Amino acid sequence: MITDDEIDVSSRRRALTIVIILVFVILFLRLYYLQLVSYSEFGKKSEENSVRVVIKEPVRGFIFDRNDRLVVDVGPAYSITITPAAFDTNNLVFLSSLMQLDPAVIQGRIDRGRAYSRFSPARIIRDVDFKTLSRVEENLYLLPGIGYEVESKRLYPFGICASHLLGYCKEITDEQLRRSGTVYQQGDLVGSSGLEASYETFLRGEKGYEFISVNSKGQLLGPLEEGKRDVHSKEGFDLILSIDFGLQVFAESLMTNYRGALVAIDPNDGGILAMVSKPDFDPSIFSGVTSSEVWTKLNTDPDKPLFNRATMTRYPPGSTFKMLVAAAALEEGIIDEHYSITCRGSFRFGNKTFKDTHVHGAVNVVEAIQKSCDVFFYQLILKIGLDRLNDYGKRFGFGKPTGIDIGDETSGLIPSAEYYDRVYGKGQWTQGNLVSLGIGQGEIGVSPLQMAQYTAAFANSGILLQPHAVNSIRNKRTNRIDIIDHSEIPVWLNYDVMRMIREGMRRVVEEPGGTGGLARISGVVSAGKTGTAQNPHGADHAWYVGFAPFDQPRIVIAVMLENAGFGGTKAAPIAGMVMEKYLFGELRRKVTKPVPAKTPQDTARQTTEKGVH
Amino acid sequence: MLSYFKEYFDFRALLICLALVIVGLMSIYSATFDINNAANYDRQALWAGIGFIIMIVISFIPLRTLQRLSFAFYFIAIATLVIILVVGITVKGSKSWFGLIGLGGQPSEFAKIATVLAFASYLSKTDVSISRIKHLFISLGIFAFPMFLILAQPDLGTAIVFFVALLPLLYWAGASNFILVAILVPILAAFGALLGTTYFLIAVAIGAALLYVFRENKFTVAVAFGIMLAVGLSVQVMYERMHVYQQKRISAFLNPEADPLGAGYNVVQSKIAIGSGGFFGKGFLKGTQTQLNYIPEQWTDFIFCVTGEEFGTLGASIVLGLFAALLLHALRVASISRNRFSSLAAIGMMGIFGTHIVINTGMSMGLMPVVGLPLPFLSYGGSSLVANMMMVGLLMNFYANRKEY
């Protein structure tokens, strides 16, 4: 290289050397300022005023019913904690005898806590009973490193009631923790099902932080700067439900001995009035320690108590489906009110005979609904065809989730041509597959909630309402109440069509020859439809859907009882009683046997209602 | 034999590097001891071993080969950055960590080296001169391309390293003062814009004055002024599009008290840790701030407070002294190299090391905003350590080949 360049290099080197030295002089000066000049300040801060952040749990939101009755409360729960660094392991046996807990379990908790931090308290056991707490508390002075903390837990003033709807809170899983970012910490309780899960963000509130001075041994000295920097926790929002808990309790009592579900909704806004799923579970067992035994027992119970039968089952609706078939046929002009057939007790299609329960003689569409004539609908469905059935099914909310705000629900199924192609293979199925769809059998799958939504569209003469359990959310900090809006979609049925179907449903209950007489409510005209759904798992499922009063309905109901037998005899009385209770606040009818006994195999198959093909 | 080694083996770089690696391992051990992260120490020790081998191997690669392969490295680095942008996995809100055989690896660490080598290689071509506008823009482009890819990850810290390391390189390559000023003033304007309108106007005024003082002709002054205004005005837009954690870091720097739990908390605790160390420090494994885990993940970006707390002014001064020695040594290698490629590359290494060191220690001591940049040789992280040792290997190589044209 040339000399000029070398001169250049040396001048640039000099300049960069000066820059480097200047920068490091600044860094050194800062270091000396921090460590030597401010040592007394920072040293004091470090040794006496180190800061520990203590998380203050917010109070979870309360849940009220439509009449402002408190249905989910919050109470204190005591957890025994251990600070691994301060705990003397020689005390392990003593502690385990006080807590009546296996030393290995405690040791495991200590190890887990130590993995996080030796100096912060870790929970050994959550929600201890009062005896254990007082035993430990009395001996606290002998047990350095042991302490207790107060948290909130869910309390249920109504006991085991609407468990599936309300849901429960459970300790957060590692997976949830990973996905949640910084909102949650290990050991937090988080809504895991029902309303607790779907309204988690509203219910949980915001955590607060207290800054506590800690000395170098990790001992707490008191609030930092008199608590000026503390952030208070903010309590969660309250939910105000559409549920009427008086009605809920009553409905639960009627359903006690059944496996099944009951959904009552307000046909004017889609608000759920009661939702029962039996068998159920005690949600309070999740609010403290959930032992794995309890959890396993619930999960492996053949009756599936955790399963919300009101929203998650997918059973054929049986004859309760007939209004939809009739609506499709009338609206499409396939039949009119004068159309009638002569029922001879069976229907032959191809080489197969589809039976009816009775010989109904000449029936028009209104009578066919009233008497639940199968032959009428066997014929009708063949004229309607799969595509139109699907169209009307969708209009009434079948084959898709209702959008209810309690989370888990099935979308159900109305079979389509594509569905049959997939299941049976192209060309491997015939019109014969359709016949039983006409009476709500075969591959059709619906939930009791969908049935209630569908029935409500007849009750309110044509609006499909999005069912919901929460009416409004109350922000306790601002006292602002937000009312939640829900979708309302017309089903687009002609007025005359609607009138005929409603008339058929009225006659089911009110006229002789109707199948739902047991749902009758004295003093009020009501309407409904019975259903008895065959299924491969034993006796028929009993269905009843209905609404009352007929002219200005205030309640819609759908009842489904698994393997209970006939809809008209098993489900209809329950539906009638629940509606009666809601309309009058009391039961007017005389009930000789208020709670019908469980009938796993009903032998009276040949007596009434509906036949077998 | 010994005299050969004295002549061609860069003991100084080697010793500085090893001393820093040892301090780093001790600090990581202390920071992670007892919180079940001791595996971090083992892994870092393993990486130090691997890095050492790579460093020695690199120091013996013929200079010509390095120079010829520079662009290949560069394009591999660019390709990797693009792949990460498309399929990368996200760690701490940024896409840069690469799931490489189950270990975290950060290709941007290696992209820095590749970019410096490519820049040096390009400008060492006999027909290329920084004073020609076309060549200037190509050399700026070599830096800008990976920088924007990294900024898009988004990894603000590493992008800053690219930018700052470019300045001494341009200076060393012979760029005029005006070009340096023209590149600096937009940053000034951007910083002013973050502080508010008044500061923005002051920054623009200072920038305009600087451009005028170092002016070459009216046209370039106008262009540079326009760029400065555009950058300053777009900062607000960019700020709004930044990740929340980045916004928090910037506002925490501007006002640490505003966010006592977030980035501000780290700085406050870090200052307490360093400040409470005193002259002799609290002793190895005895730092209360460190052992009580006040500073989240201090084995990575905030490792300097472990050193400061446990080894005191004495230990921290030694570490700072070693860093200063490393930078001055890189500058010396650059000055005595007869080869323009190795001379420029050594300045690039100096720039990269210097930016990391100043930003990281500055942030630990509350002089700089919290940007996620590891402290060379000390912070936990395999790819960072290996990349740093590769750079020392390159310096050793340049030293050995300093007489080669």
B7 domain-assigned: no
B211 domain-assigned: yes
Which structure tokens are listed for B340? 């323009």
Q: Which residues pair with A528 in a beta bridge?
A: A546
Which structure tokens are listed for A173? 């899983």
pLDDT of residue A605: 33
Instruction: State chain B's mean pLDDT as an integer.
Output: 83
CB of A223 closer than 8 Å to CB of A212: yes
Nearest CA to B168 out of B193, B135, B143 is that of: B143
Dmax (CA) of chain A: 121
Active site residue: A79, A152, A287, A319, which one? A319
Give kind and range of the element (H or E) at residue B248: helix B244-254
pLDDT of residue A4: 52
Residue B267 has pLDDT above 90, yes or no: no
pLDDT band at B22 (very low <50, low <70, confident <90, very high): very high
B405 domain-assigned: no
Q: Which chain B residue has the Cα nearest residue A50? A: B289
Domain around B48: 12-400
Task: Measure A89 CA to nearest chain B CA, in Å.
Answer: 17
Helix/strand/coil percent split, chain A, to 5: 40, 25, 35
Quick check: helix, strand or coil at residue A181?
coil
Query: Which of A146-155, A415-424, B44-53, B251-260 shows the lowest per-residue confidence on average (mean pLDDT)?
Result: B251-260
Structural domains of chain A sorted by starting position, each given as residue range(s) with its CATH number in brackets? 245-606 (3.40.710.10)
CB of A464 closer than 8 Å to CB of A453: yes
Q: 320-349 in B: which are within 8 Å (CB) of A?
A: 320, 323-324, 327-328, 331-332, 334-335, 338, 340, 343, 347
Q: Which chain A residue has the Cα nearest residue B286? A: A216
B1 domain-assigned: no
pTM: 0.58
Find tokens 């005595």 and name the residue.
Answer: B336
Which member of A31, A42, A47 has the closest CB to residue B313? A31
pLDDT of residue A431: 84
Task: Measure B79 CA to nearest chain A CA, in Å.
Answer: 30
HSE-up of residue A438 (Cα within 13 Å, Cβ side): 30
pLDDT of residue B261: 52
Helix/strand/coil percent split, chain B, to 5: 75, 0, 25
Q: What is the CA radius of gyration of chain A?
A: 33
Q: Which amino acid is at A106?
A: I
Q: Which amino acid is at A236?
A: G
Whether B294 and A51 lie within 8 Å, measured CB to CB? yes
**CB of A14 within 8 Å of any CB in chain B?**
no
Residue B24 has pLDDT above 80, yes or no: yes
- ipTM summary value: 0.88
B239 vs A51: CA distance, rounded Å: 31
Whether the upstream peptide bond of residue A549 has omega within 30° of 0, thus cis, is yes
Per-residue pLDDT averaged across B13-21, rounded?
94
B6 domain-assigned: no
- What is the per-residue pLDDT across A173-189, written as a single tens digit (0 to 9) for each? 777 777 776 677 767 78
Those residues whose C-beta lies under 8 Å from the C-beta of residue A95, and which sit 6 or more positions away, are A103, A106, A136, A143, A146
Nearest CA to A380 out of A394, A369, A391 is that of: A369
Region of residue B40 (left: phi > 0; alpha: psi -120 to 50; beta: else)? alpha
Residue B392 has pLDDT above 70, yes or no: yes
Report the 10 Å Cβ neighbour count for A417: 13
> Which of the residues in chain A have pLDDT under 50?
1-3, 216-217, 594-613
Those residues whose C-beta lies under 8 Å from the C-beta of residue A511, and which sit 6 or more positions away, are A370
B67 domain-assigned: yes
Whether A42 and B361 lie within 8 Å, measured CB to CB? no
pLDDT of residue A607: 33
When divided into structural domains, chain B yields a total of: 1
Residues of chain B found within 8 Å of residue A35, distances taken between Cβ atoms: 274-275, 277-279, 308, 312-313, 316
